[in-house]
Homo-oligomer: A and B are copies of this chain.
Amino acid sequence: MAHSLWRCGRHRTGAVFELFFRDNPFGGGFTIFAGLQNCLSFIHSFSLSSTAYVNASPSLSLSLQVALMEVSGPLAVVQLLETPLLNLVNYASLVATNAARFRLLVGPRIKLFELGLRRAQGPDGGLSGSKYSYIGGFDYTSNLLAGKLYGIPVRGSMAHSYITSFTSISELTFQTLKPVGDGAAVDFVGLSERWLGRVCRLLEESEEFPDAGERAAFISFALCYPSNFVALVDTYSVRRSGLPNFCAVALTLDELGYRAIGVRLDSGDLRQQSLHCRSVFRACSQTFEVPWFANLSIMASNNISEENLKELQCQEHEIDYIGVGTNLVTCPLQPSLGCVYKLTEVNGKARIKLSEDQSKTTLPGRKNSYRLYSPDGHPLLDLLTLHSEEAPRAGEEVQCCALGRKMERLQVTAANVEPLLSVYFERGQVRASSAKLGAGVRGWGAGGK
């Protein structure tokens, strides 16, 4: 296609493309625009494009058919950018928006961690999932490489197989730990067996039931990471094995001056189990006079989706950390964002694509876009104008019409006008305004002006 443009001498003709989407994903009211940094890197390394020019909009997009990016330059060059730019924006924006929806659902208190690597589209898909979930409002990733490459805080716990790989306490080669500060190493195993007895008496559970292999796994982990002890407690039975074993090991750590972090639940009724865990932590805290024990973290994972999170949030629970994998990175409610990249102008002339589907007809002409705000700082609407029109001004009435409803005229007077497009790439170079990118990350919650 580009070859044929070159053959007919049209490859250098000036052209303008817009990258936009037609519907917000997940039936929602907003989209986080993400992936711009990768687009700019790609355009920069795509050396032909020394004259390409990129305008891009801010990270939160509320309105449809307002360009996320406007790309102008020689026709052949900007046309070749179609597929790479769509690839780099579509999934990034989709997963960032999905992550933001999870964040809005749980509120600011609960910590969210991303666990999607195993279900992503290959290793790179996994990295994108981690990066854009973080941009959308997640706190942690379990993907170590994403942590290393993007500086995202990393969190994880042990695997079930780590626990089932142990069968008895005798498999522990090392059984001692030095207390915090000075002092000789103490028989950790012996101490924890005594704590297990006390915990089981408190909980009125049999001391026989807690699995010795599971306890060996917990002890092995605690000896290695005494200040970072998190235990996966559902391998055999949360109530009868995992939780008593965890409490025994965590109380042993406390005796030596260390504080455990908490437990992870990965199956069953997460809400009920969180309530039970909290009540056990409180009982231990009170009985054994260990105040911090009441506030141990409870982490939950296991096929968490928007739907079951909504249910969870309607009821009492004690979960502090929520891990989301599949339903975050694969976005099952809508696994693709339909961004398109359409020609709006060639050689200064507006271009349109009609279509057999009305909804696929494009808005012709190069455009500017503005967000109009009310006096109290709320966005009123996003205004599209032709590039040749004058910009709307604060305090002056603007006549406009709703997209797709030409007959409905609106008069709006904005207290504040924000131009939505800024220059990010010009004359072969990424422009200074891209420094906003860093600030834009996690900026979704900042809102308005």
**Chain A residues proximal to chain B, CB less than 8 Å:** 1, 3-5, 7-10, 13, 15, 17, 75, 79, 82-84, 86-88, 90-92, 117-129, 158-167, 171-174, 220-221, 223-225, 234-238, 267-269, 273, 302, 326, 329-332, 334-339, 341-343, 346, 349, 351-357, 360
Please tell me if the beta carbons of B326 and A336 are within 8 angstroms of each other in the complex.
Answer: yes
Please tell me if the beta carbons of A83 and B353 are within 8 angstroms of each other in the complex.
Answer: no
Known: A165-B10, A331-B335. Contact between A267 and B355, CB under 8 A?
A: yes
Q: Which residue of B lies closest to A334 (CB)?
A: B332
Please tell me if the beta carbons of B91 and A4 are within 8 angstroms of each other in the complex.
Answer: no
Bound form: Cα–Cα A118–B126 in Å: 17
Bound form: Cα–Cα A218–B198 in Å: 84
Q: A90-B118, A267-B357, A332-B336 are in contact. List 20 more A-B contacts (CB 8 A).
A: A5-B220, A7-B174, A7-B220, A7-B223, A8-B223, A10-B171, A15-B165, A75-B165, A84-B123, A87-B123, A87-B126, A88-B123, A91-B122, A92-B122, A118-B339, A122-B127, A125-B125, A163-B353, A268-B356, A326-B336
Please tell me if the beta carbons of B82 and A161 are within 8 angstroms of each other in the complex.
Answer: yes
List 28 A-B pairs, Cβ < 8 Å.
A1-B221, A3-B224, A4-B223, A8-B173, A8-B174, A75-B165, A82-B159, A87-B120, A87-B123, A90-B119, A91-B120, A91-B122, A92-B122, A120-B125, A121-B121, A121-B124, A122-B128, A123-B124, A160-B342, A161-B343, A163-B353, A234-B356, A235-B354, A237-B354, A267-B357, A269-B356, A330-B336, A331-B335
B82, B331, B346: which contacts A167 (Cβ < 8 A)? Answer: B346
Number of copies of this protein chain within its complex:
2
Please tell me if the beta carbons of A268 and B357 are within 8 angstroms of each other in the complex.
Answer: yes
Minimum Cβ distance to chain B for residue A213 (Å): 9
| Residues of chain B lying within 8 A (CB to CB) of residue A162 | 1, 4-5, 79
Q: Which residue of B lies closest to A143 (CB)?
A: B83
Bound form: Cα–Cα A360–B346 in Å: 59
Please tell me if the beta carbons of B351 and A165 are within 8 angstroms of each other in the complex.
Answer: yes
Q: Which residue of B lies closest to A174 (CB)?
A: B8
Minimum Cβ distance to chain B for residue A269 (Å): 8
Bound form: Cα–Cα A186–B160 in Å: 74
Known: A121-B121, A129-B121, A164-B353. Contact between A4 and B87, CB under 8 A?
A: no
Minimum Cβ distance to chain B for residue A319 (Å): 15
| Residues of chain B lying within 8 A (CB to CB) of residue A129 | 121
B4, B221, B341: which contacts A220 (Cβ < 8 A)? Answer: B4
Nearest 7 pairs between A and B by C-beta? A268-B356, A124-B124, A121-B125, A4-B224, A121-B121, A330-B335, A161-B343
Bound form: Cα–Cα A337–B118 in Å: 10
Known: A8-B174, A90-B118, A357-B268. Contact between A346 and B165, CB under 8 A?
A: yes
Q: Which residue of B lies closest to A129 (CB)?
A: B121
| Residues of chain B lying within 8 A (CB to CB) of residue A267 | 355-357, 360
Please tell me if the beta carbons of B91 and A160 are within 8 angstroms of each other in the complex.
Answer: no
| Residues of chain B lying within 8 A (CB to CB) of residue A5 | 162, 165, 220
Bound form: Cα–Cα A326–B335 in Å: 8
Which of A159, A160, A161, A162 has the largest count of B CB atoms less than 10 A from its CB?
A161
Minimum Cβ distance to chain B for residue A435 (Å): 24
Known: A86-B118, A119-B91, A356-B267. Contact between A351 and B159, CB under 8 A?
A: no
B125, B237, B337: which contacts A122 (Cβ < 8 A)? Answer: B125
Bound form: Cα–Cα A119–B86 in Å: 8
Please tell me if the beta carbons of B159 and A8 are within 8 angstroms of each other in the complex.
Answer: no
Please tell me if the beta carbons of B91 and A125 are within 8 angstroms of each other in the complex.
Answer: yes
Q: Which residue of B lies closest to A163 (CB)?
A: B353
Which of A159, A225, A331 has the largest count of B CB atoms less than 10 A from its CB?
A159
Minimum Cβ distance to chain B for residue A169 (Å): 11
Please tell me if the beta carbons of A8 and B220 are within 8 angstroms of each other in the complex.
Answer: yes
| Residues of chain B lying within 8 A (CB to CB) of residue A360 | 267
Q: Which residue of B lies closest to A86 (CB)?
A: B118
Minimum Cβ distance to chain B for residue A71 (Å): 11
Please tell me if the beta carbons of B118 and A9 are within 8 angstroms of each other in the complex.
Answer: no
Minimum Cβ distance to chain B for residue A389 (Å): 22
Known: A330-B335, A356-B273. Contact between A343 and B165, CB under 8 A?
A: yes
Minimum Cβ distance to chain B for residue A339 (Å): 8
